[in-house]
Homo-oligomer: A and B are copies of this chain.
Amino acid sequence: MVFYGFEDKGSVSIAIFASGLNLLLIRMKVEIINIGDELLIGQVVNTNAAWMAEQLNLSGFAVHQFTVISDTREHILKALREAENNAEIILISGGIGPTRDDVTKTTLCEFFNTRLTFNNEAYQDIKTLFARRGFPVTELNRQQAELPEGCLTLPNKLGTARGMWFEKKRPGEGKTIFISMPGVPFEMKEMMTNEIIPRLLMCFSAPFIYHKTILTQGIGESFLAKKIEFWENNLPEDIKLAYLPQPGMVRLRLSGTGKEERLVRNRVSSAIGELEKIIPEYIFGYDEETLEEIIGKLLLEKGNSMATAESCTGGYIAHLITSIPGSSGYFKGAIVAYSNEVKENLLGVPSGTLQKFGAVSEETVLEMAISAQTQFNADYVIATSGIAGPDGGSIDKPVGTAWIAIATPNEVFAKKYSFGDNRSRNIRKTALQAMALLRKKLIGQ
């Protein structure tokens, strides 16, 4: 019993919206099916499912099952049949690449009793994508424009495999929605964000949920929990708190639920206002902001520039700062000095300082910052020197020791930190701590 809901894009939103009215304020059950042998042999961790589930939850949908299956006709059919008994929305990612081992598209045709047909709009998109890259369109890519008849196809801005949206009437009333999308994470994310979630929200009007994440840095999860215990215990019942720790930071997510958007937003904002009074020194931003972004904005506002002089962070701070579009407007550059020789020759750290105090010392890191400020003609400088590990530690300076210096137009200072024994996390923590120090100076704290 296949219901072909759409003939063209224009009619979609209306059709969906009308049927969605009945379902107002019911949390729809979602099942996520990830197709891919690379998942089943454990070569790739299923980060797609976690990301999809998080986004769906934030939009008010309840994900009740993930199913990871192999890329075979039989298994896909079995999973679709089981899922349609248990969920109203079935999201399928993976298995629609250009290579012959991907059978999802033909299996979907079988399941929905339809056939592939050449989709000119899809073909034009593929041609445009290839033209921009300067490649000819291969036969395998041309075949990606063959899509199941009767489904709504969803554009893929970042790849050649379009999404496919099917609807099927349920035996009683209502319908089940099946959406197939690429498994490549950035293509999947773009399609989920810009096509799938907005369309699902039009179909099923969920209660209003408002999330706001407070980003903290410089305090561990358990210490933070203790500091905000009283505030947490006195949160209103319709506001939930989640701790989301990451290396070098803890994110606090508040989720408010209710019927009226304005009221929900106000209640969450006032809870955040209270929190800001309790831990102002640890909060550096909100939601998806990053320290590198915040620093960029502050520098642009002030018309100032920056540079880095990095030892233990090995260019990671420069990488983070330059990951932001437009960073060439304030970032002058970096010197990564991974040996004493380079610290002397390129950063002018006197050999006496290096010999007397060592490379990982207040004296060295201050010299690095001052020298970079002059050489790059930069207003602000971050300098780092530490022992990332696993080797190079001593009793005086164990692995995880890091000195960070900040030079501003008015002063230069250095602070010492003790992180852990994991190399990549030490690099990350040093970088975040250094950027947090710079941010405080930029806002005059």
Contact = CB atoms under 8 A, between A and B. Distances in A.
Interface of A: 37-47, 49-57, 63-70, 75, 78, 82, 86, 97-99, 101, 132-135, 138, 140-141, 158, 184, 186, 211, 213, 220-223, 225-226, 241-245, 247, 253, 255, 308, 310, 313-319, 321-323, 325-328, 331-339, 341-342, 345-346, 375-377, 388-392, 418, 420-425, 427
Contacts of A424: 323
A133 B420 CA distance: 6
A38 B339 contact: no
Of listed A141, A222, A391, residue having the most chain B CB within 10 A: A222
Given A66-B66, A69-B65, A315-B315, A242 B322 contact: no
B315 A336 contact: yes
A62 B62 CA distance: 31
A201 to B, nearest CB: 17
20 contacts: A37-B242, A40-B65, A41-B53, A41-B57, A42-B51, A42-B54, A43-B242, A65-B67, A99-B225, A135-B220, A141-B222, A314-B331, A316-B322, A323-B424, A332-B338, A332-B339, A332-B341, A332-B342, A334-B334, A346-B375
A139 B425 CA distance: 26
Contacts of A253: 38, 43
Mostly, the A contact residues are mixed
B225 A98 contact: yes
B40 A221 contact: no
A188 to B, nearest CB: 13
B314 A318 contact: yes
Contact of A42 (B42, B57, B308): B57
Count of this chain's copies in the oligomeric assembly: 2
A339 B66 CA distance: 48
A42 B55 contact: yes
A64 B50 contact: no
A35 to B, nearest CB: 11
Given A140-B225, A420-B133, A423-B325, A54 B41 contact: yes
A318 B213 CA distance: 32
A73 to B, nearest CB: 14
Of listed A67, A68, A423, residue having the most chain B CB within 10 A: A68
Given A184-B245, A315-B322, A41 B225 contact: no
B50 A101 contact: no
Contacts of A135: 220, 223
B316 A319 contact: yes
A109 to B, nearest CB: 22
Contact of A50 (B39, B244, B321, B346): B39
The 4 closest A-B pairs by CB, nearest first: A314-B322, A42-B54, A315-B318, A315-B315
A433 B418 CA distance: 36
